[in-house]
Amino acid sequence: MRILLQRSDAKEAAWIADFKDLLPEAEIVFWRESATFAPCDYAVVWQPPAAMLPALREVKAIFNTGAGVDALLKFGEALSAHVPLVRLDDAGMGVQMAEYVSHAVLRHFRRLDDYEAQGRAGIWQPLPAFDKADFPVGVLGMGVLSTRVLQALAQFEFPLRGWSRSQKQLDGVQCYAGEEGLEEFLRNTRVLVCMLPLTPETHNLLDRTRLSMLLPGAYVINVARGAHLAEPDLLTLIRSGHIAGATLDVFRNEPLPQQHPFWQEPRITITPHISAATLRRESVAQIAAKMRRLHAGDSVAGIVNRLQGY
């Protein structure tokens, strides 16, 4: 078994070491532009450049080492349709995402930003508390990671909503589906958590029209992709008071440019795309197990539906 490995973060040595440890029967080849390689069975990639496309057409499957596959699907028909794309199922990202989102929800619910501002001003003053019954949390997307987040939030007894492209069921969650269910979902959501895959249909999904459907004083958390959110529209609605604030981990341009107005808006909390890091050891273990199954002629979970985009 030969594996073609590509990384865009200069961490290839650690990935190679883990593959040698967890899949010792495989030969690991690191991809470099302009280099020539003997045919490989599988490719493991993270944000591959267009120059890698010829090599990706020759493998039996491509494994993506992130939660989203938009960096691959952007190549369209240039990425051979006969080569399966395999995404990570969780690999330790679910618990990280649950931690991040739960913290953001609780921070807003308990008004900790307000108390920190009072503390800096030397003000000792209890503030009116939110009523949990009037604080429904809605999650856009109901995949593996979203389900983990909803299960974590359930422990705090928030009213929970979930929206997905097709109808889903999850205990304790009021589920909505399809375009016809999206407006009702938004109109019944106080804290909106975006965890959708980025597809042509979800690009700019959170624009002024849809964000205005949220309950007054809503709060927005985006841990998916920056292109889901119309950034100027969010700013407008925060400044108008319809949206109370936001916690944003992803942006259209990363790193977020210093001149971006988000930096100057105190009601927006910014983090540098850290809500759920890829855990290398867990990811390699999952990929290695799937490679062994494919090599034995068995099926694996996590095959991307290219038409749906996830």
Give the catalytic positions in this structure: 225, 273
DSSP string covering the chain, please? Answer: -EEEE--SSS-HHHHHHHHHHH-TTSEEEE--TT------SEEEESS--GGGHHHHTTSSEEEESSS--HHHHTTGGGS-TTSPEE--S-TTHHHHHHHHHHHHHHHHHTTHHHHHHHHHTT-----PPPPGGG--EEEE--SHHHHHHHHHHHTTT--EEEEESS----TTEEEEEHHHHHHHHHHT-SEEEE-PPP-TTTTT-B-HHHHTTSPTTEEEEE-S-GGGB-HHHHHHHHHHTSEEEEEE---SSSSPPTT-GGGG-TTEEE--S-SS---HHHHHHHHHHHHHHHHTT---S-B--TTTT-
